[in-house]
Amino acid sequence: MKSIIDKVASGQRLTYEEGVRLYDLDLFTLGKLANDIRTRMWGKKSFFNINRHINPTNVCKDICKFCAFSASRKNPNQYTMTHEEILEIVEEAQGRGVKEVHIVSAHNPHTGLEWYMEVFAKIKARFPQMHVKALTAAEINFLAEEYGKSYEEIIDMMVEHGVDSMPGGGAEIFDEKVRDYICKGKVTSDQWLEIHRLWHERGRHSNATMLFGHVEEKHHRIDHMIRLRELQDETGGFNTFIPLVYQRENNFLNVKKFLSSQEILKTMAISRIMLDNFPHIKAYWVTSTVNLALVSQEYGADDLDGTIERESINSAAGAKSAHGMPLEEFVALIKNSGFQPVERDSLYHELKVW
């Protein structure tokens, strides 16, 4: 292991095999290696933004075993917001200083393509300074298939209608055998990567995620990171990598053994080590818990997402994120953990050092 430690310390890129072996290191060695990289890049800065998540519909044609949000199988709790309802949320959010709306939905086959696109244009027309982060690669794949469009056509429509950046959802785990079990019929790994490649080719930025802690194995996580690293070498279009911790309640996976905090922190640290061309690693407090996200700052993470205000997808599966977090509390938590809160915009331009 010494050769791998020396390689990381000297800034050399690790192979797939070396990445898998990182899990054999003890937590504190991994933490030191990752924290050294984080400190070289960002010092004690911890980034966040003031954002509002909006989930306009939970009606979904797909049935992913890990999902507790989508309303399928004649679920009596289906909902689909009107455009006016969405615009009212955006107006209220802007009045509270929100600078980004993060719009992700289920794959609703009943609304029509225009329903998705027109609301983005309406938001931009009424709130031109608001950053619109919207449509995962899974949603783009759904829209392309449902309405007989190419990925290029959907992406160009997004740009035309005011979408500024793409979230990283839908990546789950890239290994197709695992995907076949947890989200059969959803966007494939190659399709997910191709959609982000096309988005980057238009000079736009996106995020990347990895859902872990369900039925995948450690080597699947490293394979996932390597594929993202390769695309980032080509395009440079990813802002941040977000390891998402699987939420255990109200879904069909029935996972019996859940991740320890140590395994989560190891995966966070390994993400920082393996993804040497990603500027940011995000500890998404919604899925990791606030406390573990704060600890993750010492294990390679330099971003904690944001205030969120309201979140429906992960909270449906047990995450304590339904009502977001007050800004003052968020800032205080970062300061009390020994780091410097830096408010950013959606593209990581620094707005305010708290």
Average pLDDT score, the chain: 90
pLDDT digits (tens, 9 = 90+) for 197-239: 999 999 999 999 999 999 999 999 999 999 999 999 999 999 9
pTM of the model: 0.91
Burial-class residue 182 by CB neighbours within 10 Å (0-12, 13-18, 19+): buried
Q: Taking the domains of the chain in order of start, what are their residue ranges?
A: 2-353
Contact 98, 44 (CB under 8 A): no
CA-nearest of 191, 185, 96 to 150 is 191
pLDDT-based confidence at residue 315 (cuts at 50, 70, 90) = very low
Contact 77, 71 (CB under 8 A): yes
Mean pLDDT for the stretch of residues 306-313: 58
Q: Helix 113-126 to helix 83-95 angle, to the nearest 10 degrees?
A: 30
pLDDT digits (tens, 9 = 90+) for 237-262: 999 999 999 876 555 667 667 889 99
Q: Which fold has domain 2-353?
A: TIM Barrel (3.20.20)
Comparison of pLDDT for 21 and 319, the residue scoring more:
21
Contacts of 39 (CB under 8 A, 6+ apart): none
pLDDT-based confidence at residue 77 (cuts at 50, 70, 90) = confident
- Helices vs. strands in the chain: H and E counts, helices first: 14, 10
Q: What is the pLDDT of residue 312?
A: 44
Residue 96, number of CB atoms within 10 A of its CB: 11
